Structure 1
């Protein structure tokens, strides 16, 4: 298939593109052209400024792809700029579990974008969770004729995680830097970065339409993470209301239901099978830095 990946030059977008290439697809990546990619002559390239409607129109107008992966559709205008000018058999948008009021066993129908008022907005108009909701509202309300999937992930983490949010807890614990954590015992969901890319690629030829969750099986709390760091290093995490605010503060206790993905034949890993290996990597990164 001819596949367009909007984004795809960093983090789990790289795993997505590499998996699509492994599957034998013809892949084109669309970016601003500011970051050198690692694909050589294996992909074709389109350059545009994603937040500029005229730039998108000039680059994509009247083009056709079997599948479009939109890794960077953050708001309703992002969706509009692309789907107003390009044709495809399937559009797969990177959404987020931030669209939910998360809770235990969070399922796809816990957020219904057809029942929410659509607001055409730019990326800075609302907080992240609301602009992602509006991106889905635009997709499902204004482009009902397009075969579409919205992939909803929780926090994606890995050795290549540029946000360094999980790393924050490991580094602060080892260095004794005070942290303010408001949800230390809350169980939360995560997904490994390579799986995030591979699951999206898995969806390319699947007969599925609508939102779909992706997440590792199981959950973990920040206390469990810190206890492991303490056990491995002998250090003691310093918790203080005057400390630096931790990056996962404000998150509720929740789990993500992935039954829809499993029905399609995709089995996610168990979080306890890999997260401690990742934490070990972070520990070594701090100690031997």
Structure 2
């Protein structure tokens, strides 16, 4: 198939594109081309400015794609620009579990109703991250219901090459004796590994499905469990107080993400415990070098 990937040159976009190449698809990467990618001659490349509809129109004029995977869409105007300038048979949008208000135990896709929430045409800076992601989905649900689209909702994505360094924050602070301001140390939270996040997007290319779908590793974990593990492995006890550095996962309530829809489509996510503690060990190792 002819697949257009908007973004896809870093983090979980890399295993996604690698999987698409393995599956034999012809890939076109659309980016601002401000950074090199690792795919060599295996992909075609187009330069675009995602927030400029004229740039998109010029880049994609006369082209048609079987599937578009949009990893850079954020707001409702982003949806409008893509829907009205690119010809495609299926559109896969990288959404987020941030659309849920709030996340709860066993969070199911139906918890966010993009069909009846008021749609506001907005740009990326008009609202908070969670609200612009909701508005992006509202545009799909209300204005483009007749188009073949999937909105994939992930929680926090992490791995060894996580450029956000959110999980690493806790390990580094614990091992270096740096105080942390953590407001949800006992909240059970969901995560997904970057490799799996990319490969699930690639899996959906060949799947007959339309609408919103969650993706997430099975099981949950709390920050306290992670810090206790670090203390057991290293003897370093965390310092938690309100005057410390604000922790990156602050504000997350106890929740779990239901992935029954994905399982019914034949995809089985990994168990969080199968990879998380190896990742924490890795972070302990690289932090030990720098302590």
TM-score past 0.5 threshold: yes
Q: How many residues align?
A: 289
How much does 1:62 deviate? Answer: 3.9
For residues 11-40 of structure 1, the C-alpha deviation after alignment (integer angstroms, 9 at most, x for no partner) is 001111000000000010000000100000
SS across alignment from 1:89: strand
Partner residue, 2:145: 144
Q: Is the 8 A contact 1:11 1:160 kept in 2?
A: yes
Partner residue, 1:193: 194
Q: How does 1:59-208 map to 2 (within 5 A)?
A: 59-100=59-100, 101-208=102-209
Q: Distance in 1 between matches of 2:35 and 2:86?
A: 24
Partner residue, 1:261: 262
How much does 1:61 deviate? Answer: 3.0
Q: Distance in 2 between matches of 1:133 and 1:140?
A: 10
How much does 1:70 deviate? Answer: 0.3
Q: Distance in 2 between matches of 1:90 and 1:48?
A: 20
Q: Distance in 2 between matches of 1:95 and 1:151?
A: 5
How much does 1:273 deviate? Answer: 1.0
SS across alignment from 1:30: strand
Q: Is the 8 A contact 1:183 1:251 kept in 2?
A: yes
Q: Distance in 2 between matches of 1:62 and 1:226?
A: 54
Please report the TM-score for the alignment, with normalisation by the length of structure 1.
0.99
Q: Distance in 1 between matches of 2:146 and 2:238?
A: 53
Q: Is the 8 A contact 2:173 2:238 kept in 1?
A: yes
Q: Distance in 2 between matches of 1:64 and 1:108?
A: 30
Q: Distance in 2 between matches of 1:243 and 1:33?
A: 38
RMSD: 0.7
Partner residue, 2:19: 19
How much does 1:217 deviate? Answer: 0.2
Partner residue, 2:241: 240
Q: Is the 8 A contact 2:56 2:86 kept in 1?
A: no
Partner residue, 2:220: 219
Q: Distance in 2 between matches of 1:60 and 1:132?
A: 24
Q: Distance in 1 between matches of 2:263 and 2:145?
A: 25
Q: Is the 8 A contact 1:113 1:133 kept in 2?
A: yes
Q: Is the 8 A contact 1:2 1:66 kept in 2?
A: yes
How much does 1:55 deviate? Answer: 1.2
SS across alignment from 1:68: strand
Partner residue, 1:30: 30
Please report the TM-score for the alignment, with normalisation by the length of structure 2.
0.98
SS across alignment from 2:239: coil
| Contiguous gaps of at least 5 residues in structure 1 | none
| Contiguous gaps of at least 5 residues in structure 2 | none
How much does 1:73 deviate? Answer: 0.5
SS across alignment from 1:288: helix
Q: Is the 8 A contact 2:53 2:85 kept in 1?
A: no
Q: Is the 8 A contact 1:102 1:252 kept in 2?
A: yes
Q: Distance in 2 between matches of 1:210 and 1:28?
A: 24
For residues 109-130 of structure 1, the C-alpha deviation after alignment (integer angstroms, 9 at most, x for no partner) is 0001001111111100000000
SS across alignment from 1:113: coil
Q: List, as ranges, runs of 4+ consecutive aligned residues in structure 1 with deviation greater than 3 Å.
A: none
SS across alignment from 2:90: strand
